[in-house]
Amino acid sequence: MDYVSIKTEEEIDIMREAGKKLFSVMQKLKKNVSPGKSTYELDKLAQELVFAEGGIPAFKGYGDKKNPFPATICASVNNEIVHGIPRKDKIIVEGDIFKIDIGMKYQGYFVDMARTFAVGKISNKARNLIEATEQCFWIGIGQIKEGSMLSDYSKAVEDYISQTDYSIVRNLVGHGIGKKLHEDPQIPNFHDPSMPDFELRSGMVFALEPMVNEGTYKTKTGIDGWVFETADGKLSAHYENTVVITNKGVEVLTNA
């Protein structure tokens, strides 16, 4: 599709370097996820780490000028799906599942990733949800390469989740990424025949991000106008990477 940006090798090299740097940031954040930490503390650390890597936080200041996102990370706990705002009084405790979504601008290009972490010892049902969400991502990218259809990813994720008791969030999707944090196309984690479908080409770069709920796929918006929560109050998990399409498959850029 003409509206989907094809990155050059030089651009991909920059994004590959950025992805490794952001992965390193996430690994350091992971080591600091523990009971008693405030999400504000983790956000402050994330900002320091991003700047130390030569990057700029992608989310801070993003959105409506009247209500821009105020932090480096989206810090979402338990039934919060995504876009949770870090706060000093928001303390993670034993048994929580904690989602960190983080983006970085590096040498003019963006990368984006998310992980769901166990806070101390968590229930088996919570751990199974986290594992299923990550599995969605890997199953999805296993079905795509140059020449595949974009919908091959969406169908694979939906097919996997349909065999579980979980549900895929439907009003939040993946996206293209590059010189902008959010580029075309929108990429659902379920098959939607009304969405544009097209053949994938080498050099397309996407942020793919399954969000999986323990219960209903339906969401509600929190009182701050940013956070999305599960409509039934049950758990949600999130897993995201920035990837580039190649003639052999997919290269995950936000990785070691």
Please name the residue that has the structure tokens 């480096």: 72
Q: Residue 117 in contact with residue 33, Cβ under 8 Å? A: yes
Q: Which of 61-65, 151-155, 224-228 has the lowest mean pLDDT?
A: 61-65
What is the DSSP code (8-state) at residue 131? H
Buried b / exposed e along 198-229 (16+ C-beta atoms within 10 A)? eebebbbbbbbbbbbbbbebebeeeeeebbbb
Architecture of domain 9-252: Alpha-Beta Complex (3.90)
- What tens digit of pLDDT does each residue of 17-50 get? 999 999 999 999 999 999 999 999 999 999 999 9
- What tens digit of pLDDT does each residue of 160-212 get? 999 999 999 999 999 999 999 999 999 999 999 988 899 999 999 999 999 99
